[in-house]
Amino acid sequence: MKLIFIGPPGSGKGTQAKRLAARYAVPHISTGDMLREAIADGTDLGRQAAPIMASGALVSDDLMLGIIDERLAKSDAQRGFILDGFPRTLVQAEKLDTIVGKASGNGSEGLRVLQLLVPDDAIVERISLRRSCPTCGAIYHLASAPPAVDMVCDRDGAELIARPDDNETAVRKRLEAFHRQTLPVATYYKSQNLLREVDGVGPVDQVFERIEKSLS
Ligand code: AP5
- Separation in Å, CA 179 to CA 135, 167, 203: 31, 18, 25
Say what the pLDDT of residue 177 is.
97
Question: Which candidate, 119, 110, 58, 45, places its Cα nearest to that of 89?
Answer: 58
Q: Judge whether residue 108 has pLDDT over 60.
A: no
- Tell me, yes or no, whether 123 lies in a domain: no
Pocket-forming residues, ligand 1, beta carbon under 6 Å: 7, 9-15, 31-32, 35, 52-53, 56-59, 64, 85-86, 88, 92, 126, 130, 139-141, 144-145, 165, 174, 202, 204, 207
What is the distance between the alpha carbons of residues 31 and 111, in angstroms, rounded to a whole number?
Answer: 18
Question: What is the β-pairing status of strands 111-117 and 2-6?
Answer: parallel
- Tell me, yes or no, whether 133 lies in a domain: no
Q: Judge whether residue 95 has pLDDT over 70.
A: yes
Domain around 81: 2-117+168-215
| CATH number where 16 lies | 3.40.50.300
Percentage of the chain beyond pLDDT 70 is 96
- Tell me, yes or no, whether 105 lies in a domain: yes
What is the distance between the alpha carbons of residues 61 and 40, in angstroms, rounded to a whole number?
Answer: 21
Helices 204-215 + 13-24 axis angle, to 10: 50
> pLDDT band at residue 105, thresholds of 50, 70 and 90?
low
- Tell me, yes or no, whether 8 lies in a domain: yes
- Tell me, yes or no, whether 102 lies in a domain: yes
Ligand 1 atom closest to Cα of residue 206:
53
Instruction: Verify cis geometry, omega within 30 degrees of 0, for the bond prior to 146.
Output: no
- Tell me the three state secondary structure of residue 132: strand
Radius of gyration from C-alpha coordinates of the chain: 17
Q: Judge whether residue 110 has pLDDT over 90.
A: no
Sequence-ordered alpha helix ranges (H) in 56-201: 61-72, 90-104, 120-128, 168-177, 183-190
CB of 25 closer than 8 Å to CB of 81: no
- Tell me, yes or no, whether 76 lies in a domain: yes
Number of domains in the chain: 1
pLDDT for 22-59, tens place per residue?
999 999 999 999 999 999 999 999 999 999 999 999 99
Phi-psi region of 161 (alpha: psi -120 to 50; beta: other; left: phi over 0): beta
pLDDT for 128-166, tens place per residue?
899 999 989 899 999 989 999 999 999 999 999 999 899
- Tell me, yes or no, whether 68 lies in a domain: yes
